[in-house]
Structure formats: structure tokens, C-alpha cells
């Protein structure tokens, strides 16, 4: 079977963001568009001939068609073997698990994470390296530069293979092994957590839980682990069948897009524990009875209770959080006498710290939490971590969090998202902040005095690479913070994210609603950045 070299011309919009390349499905369906990017990935790599590649995705629209293209191109470019999740499925954390378990050269994950799916919605593709984590900037930069110069790509002219039959097939000289997409990941979870304790809790008759898979990839994983292995009742997993358009819903596990789950956690028939994950399985939302746990607080609670979990019984080497994530975990790190690293947003920045053994747990405020078990954030892992803690402590979610706040104080926190705003307006807002950041220092706004203002710049402590322009920080003398950042995960216009945080140690105010507690800072954040002027929005689209 001969390799076919297809002539092509570059596209100028294939720069990967924080989580790969994300565009509308119709953009990827353009002739040569997907192929150009895949060839640019392969051309940016060295030494993969004869090695193993892992491929899978979140099951969204165009997932299966794209995977067939990738397989033929992988064969033409010289890979020796590809491991593929049956049905073209692999959650993002499961893909990382498989890459690491089978010592693959790397992997390609087809996902746009928490973005909507369907023929008129979003698609995405990213490359993960042999450690199981997202490619670092030096590789994504190389991919982008090659995409601007590409003149041909390599493929095999052959029939599509059967993606639904577990076992081995061939494409040219390349072996393709279709694997169970769930079993390796489920086995890994069983090696980390106390399944006996969780099984006892779920069978006690006094404890119920609901897990909303949001018509996305974690449905089969949650069913296998929660129902089949842990004995949770049938019906525990809601919306558990992965659908190409996520059932027309938005697969983002937050208070807005998982509102049915949130509503079900209140009232007489509410469960004790609620959780949700997103489109590709790497995000999580944690709920108790009439109680929401912010992702920042969740990371801090997990760190504080890590030794209750068998996989972390020896303690933590360190922790890390993205810069916009609240400082709650910093206080736990201080108490434990371990290092807390502050990184830019993007899971790839945790990879070097994990590989070097500097940290055990890490997390982002955007509903992502993880550890050294894989090199991606992991939604279902976080849910099982909480379930393990609940099984050992035998307290409610709310009681555990309130106890944590009484010990450490509460970092009252909120994130305001302005979605699909004008790119020009969003960029102008950020440039205005950069231009006037030095002027803000020592300014007073009622009781808030600015102590420091900068555009966050990160020097990786392992490889010493530098990442600039990672978000505008306004730090106040009271330890309150306002942070402005443009997200790289959307496909429509720009997404402005504003993060507002204020420490609270008054025990009588620990249960106040963050929007009330932070009302002055919220108003100040809008005024300082002229948000309405630059975006045309009087209020955010999503508040978490």
C-alpha cells in the first residue's frame, strides 16, 4: 500500500491555544484543514517511527470521521501502532492514563472539552506527549510554525476501519488495536482510592449521590466505577450516554449549565452528594445538600484531607494552582509545610512540576483538579476523591467545608465570564489595563488600596522557560485580588474572565453569598477596566 502525498496550502489560523486547536466543526470540515494540522503535529515530532500513538476523543460530532483521517496519516507517517478507544472514545484523563500505562510515544485527543457539540458547534484536537500531558509551548509553537509553511501531507488511500470492534486491525504496515476505553482508567482509580470504604458508604442506605455526565464522555466511566464496581444504585448516573451533540446541552459542569442537578440537590428528595463532569471528562463540579463547593475550595479541601486516601497516605510533596485560582490551597500548603506553586492557566504548566516530583496535587479554578496519577485534570478522579473523604469522615459536604473555613478562613471568590465579546474590544480592555497598571499602585478605592499591579509572567522552575502576558493582576493591601484574563478555550469572539477574591476570617460571615460579600470589589472590577465600554455588556454571561 503506497503512501499518497497530497498537495495543500497553509491556513493562517491554526495556532493552538491553552488546550489545542479549537474551531467550529465546519472549519475543520474544510478540505485539507484537519489534515494540515495533523501533518504539522507529526512534522514537529522526532523519533516516533515504529512507536505507539494513542488516539481517542469525547464522542462529539465529527469525532469518528477525524479519527479515521488521523489513523491513515499516522500509518503514512511511520507510526508502528495506534491504540484507539472503542467507538473512537477516550476521555481526556483516560487518554493520559493509556499513554502512560503503555509507554506510548504520545497521543492525539479529539475534544473541545466543555464547549458545545454538534454540526454547527465546536471541535478540537490536541497533541499530548509521552508523559501523558498536553504538549508544551515549544512543541505547539513548532506545530503552528509548520502549519504556516506546509505544502503537502501524507496519507494512505484505504478503507475506513471498524472502530467498534475490540481487537487488532491493520492499516498498511501499522497495527491498530481497538481497546476498551474504560477499563485501564477504572483500574487506575481502584488502585488509588479505598473502594471498600466507598462501597460501604454507598450501600449503607443512608447515603445517596447523583452524578451528571451531561450526555458526555464520563457516562460509561461513571457507570462502570460507581454502579458496577462500587455498587451505587441504578439511576445514580444521570445523562450517562455520550451523544454527538451532548443532547443539545452545554457540557460545562457549572451552576448555570448543570442547573437540573443543582436544583435536585435541594429539597426533601435531595441526595447527600452531587457531582458533574464535562464534555471530555477533565472537569468537575462538587455539590452537597444545598451546598456548592467552589473549585478553589475543593482543591484546598482535597489537599488538607489527602492522607485519608490510600494513594496519598504518605502525604503530599507539594501543590500547585493556576494564578487566577484562589489562595485557599496556599494556606493548606503553609500548614503542611510544603511548597505551593503559582502557574499560568493551562494544564501543561503543571506537567514539569509533576514530572519533577515537586507536586502531588494541582488545580485550576475552572473546575479542573488533578494529581500525579495522570498528566491531565481529571473530573471523575476528583469526584472519587471527595467520595473517599466522605466515606472516611462520615460528615456532610457542607460540614467538611465549614470546618475547613473555620480552620483556615475563607477565600471568598467568584468568576465573572463575558462570553463571545468583540475580540477588538477585549484586546483594547487588556491593553488599557497594561498601559495604566503602574498608575494604579497605591491608589485607594474606598477601603481598598492597591499594593501591586502587573501582567503575570511565569518562569518555569524546571526548564526555565518564560510565559508572559498571562493575566492582569491587581493585588490589594488586604490580600484581596482582581484578575483579568482572556480565555483561550472559546471559538466565538473572545471570552473575558474576571476573578474577584477576598479573604474572610470573621466566622459570622463565612456563609455569606460571595456575590454579596464581594459586591464592592465586583463593582470596582467593572469600573477599573471599563468593562461595559469595551464589551457592551452590563453584566456577565456566567457567574461561578
CA angle 380, 381, 384 (to 5 degrees): 85
Is residue 334 within 8 A of residue 355, CB to CB? The reply is no
Cα Rg of the chain (Å, integer): 23
Q: Identify the CA nearest to 302 among candidates 358, 368, 236.
A: 368
DSSP state of 194: -
How many angstroms separate the CA atoms of 221 and 226, rounded? 8
How many angstroms separate the CA atoms of 499 and 309, rounded? 31
Is residue 21 within 8 A of residue 125, CB to CB? The reply is yes
Q: Identify the CA nearest to 226 among candidates 36, 379, 39.
A: 379
Cell of 294: 467552589
448: left (phi over 0), alpha (psi -120 to 50) or beta: beta
Segment holding 336, helix H or strand E: helix 328-336
How many angstroms separate the CA atoms of 115 and 63, rounded? 14
DSSP state of 232: P
Reduced to 3 states (helix: H, G, I; strand: E, B; else coil), residue 387 is: helix
- Known catalytic residues are 113
Amino acid at each position: 500500500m503506497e503512501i499518497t502525498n497530497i498537495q495543500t496550502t497553509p491556513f493562517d489560523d491554526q495556532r493552538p491555544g491553552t488546550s489545542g486547536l479549537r474551531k467550529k466543526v465546519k472549519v475543520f470540515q474544510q478540505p485539507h484543514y484537519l489534515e494540515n494540522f495533523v501533518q504539522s503535529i507529526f512534522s514537529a515530532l522526532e523519533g516516533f517511527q515504529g512507536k505507539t500513538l494513542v488516539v481517542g476523543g469525547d464522542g462529539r460530532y465529527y469525532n469518528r470521521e477525524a479519527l479515521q483521517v488521523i489513523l491513515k496519516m499516522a500509518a503514512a507517517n511511520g507510526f508502528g501502532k495506534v491504540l484507539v478507544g472503542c467507538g473512537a472514545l477516550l476521555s481526556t484523563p483516560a487518554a493520559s492514563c493509556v499513554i502512560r500505562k503503555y509507554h506510548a510515544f504520545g497521543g492525539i485527543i479529539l475534544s473541545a472539552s466543555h464547549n458545545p457539540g454538534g454540526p454547527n458547534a465546536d471541535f478540537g484536537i490536541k497533541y499530548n506527549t509521552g508523559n501523558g500531558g498536553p504538549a508544551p509551548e515549544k512543541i505547539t509553537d513548532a506545530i503552528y510554525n509548520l502549519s504556516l509553511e506546509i505544502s503537502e501531507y501524507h496519507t494512505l488511500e484505504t478503507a475506513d476501519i471498524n472502530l467498534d470492534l475490540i481487537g487488532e486491525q491493520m492499516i498498511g504496515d501499522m497495527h491498530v488495536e481497538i481497546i476498551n476505553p474504560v477499563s485501564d482508567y477504572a483500574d487506575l482509580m481502584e488502585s488509588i482510592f479505598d473502594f471498600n470504604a466507598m462501597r460501604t458508604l454507598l450501600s449503607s442506605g443512608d447515603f445517596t449521590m447523583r452524578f451528571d455526565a451531561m450526555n458526555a464522555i464520563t457516562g460509561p466511566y461513571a457507570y462502570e466505577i460507581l454502579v458496577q464496581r462500587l455498587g451505587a444504585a441504578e439511576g445514580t448516573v444521570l445523562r450517562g450516554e455520550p451523544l454527538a451533540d451532548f443532547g443539545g446541552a452545554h457540557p460545562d459542569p457549572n451552576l448555570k449549565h448543570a442547573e437540573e442537578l443543582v436544583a435536585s440537590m435541594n429539597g426533601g428528595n435531595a441526595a447527600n452528594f452531587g457531582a458533574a463532569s464535562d464534555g471530555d471528562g477533565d472537569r468537575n463540579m462538587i455539590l452537597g445538600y444545598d451546598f456548592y463547593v467552589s473549585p478553589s475550595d475543593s482543591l484546598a479541601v482535597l489537599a488538607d484531607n489527602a492522607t485519608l486516601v490510600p494513594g496519598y497516605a504518605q502525604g503530599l510533596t507539594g501543590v500547585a494552582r493556576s494564578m487566577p485560582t484562589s489562595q485557599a490551597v496556599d494556606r493548606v500548603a503553609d500548614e503542611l509545610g510544603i511548597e505551593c506553586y503559582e502557574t499560568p492557566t493551562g494544564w501543561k504548566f503543571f506537567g514539569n512540576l509533576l514530572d519533577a516530583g515537586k507536586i502531588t496535587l494541582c488545580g485550576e479554578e475552572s473546575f479542573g483538579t488533578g494529581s500525579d496519577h495522570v498528566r491531565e485534570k481529571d473530573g471523575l478522579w476528583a469526584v472519587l476523591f471527595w467520595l473517599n473523604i466522605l466515606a472516611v469522615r462520615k460528615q456532610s459536604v457542607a460540614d467538611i467545608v465549614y470546618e475547613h473555613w473555620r480552620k483556615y478562613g475563607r477565600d471568598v471568590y467568584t468568576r465573572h465570564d463575558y462570553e463571545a465579546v468583540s475580540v477588538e474590544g477585549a484586546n483594547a480592555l487588556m491593553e488599557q489595563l497594561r498601559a495604566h497598571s503602574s498608575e494604579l499602585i497605591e491608589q485607594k478605592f474606598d477601603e481598598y488600596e492597591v499594593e501591586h499591579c502587573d501582567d503575570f509572567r511565569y518562569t518555569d522552575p524546571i526548564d526555565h522557560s518564560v510565559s508572559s502576558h498571562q493575566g492582569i493582576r491587581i493585588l490589594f493591601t488586604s490580600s484581596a485580588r482582581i484578575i483579568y484574563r482572556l480565555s483561550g478555550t472559546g471559538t466565538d469572539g473572545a471570552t473575558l474572565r474576571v476573578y474577584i477574591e477576598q479573604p474572610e476570617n470573621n466566622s459570622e460571615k463565612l456563609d455569606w453569598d460571595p456575590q454579596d460579600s464581594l459586591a464592592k470589589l465586583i463593582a470596582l472590577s467593572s469600573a477599573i477596566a471599563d468593562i461595559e465600554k469595551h464589551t457592551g455588556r452590563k453584566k456577565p454571561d456566567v457567574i461561578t
